[in-house]
Structure 1
Amino acid sequence: MHPETQELISRLRNYAENRHPFVWNTENSGELNCWNLLLSEGFVQTTDLNQAIATWKGIARRGMPTDPKEYPGYKYASSRRERKGDSWSPYLQSEQNQYYNAY
Structure 2
Amino acid sequence: MRCVYCNSEKIVKNGKSNQGKQRYLCKECGRIFVENPERKHYPDNLKKTAIRLYTDGVPIAVISRSLEVPYETVRSWIRAAGEKAIKKNRRKEKSLSEQSI
TM-score, L = length of structure 2: 0.22
Q: TM-score, normalised by structure 1?
A: 0.21
Higher RCO (CA-CA < 8 Å; seq separation 6+): 2
Relative to its length, the structure with more strand (as a share) is: 2
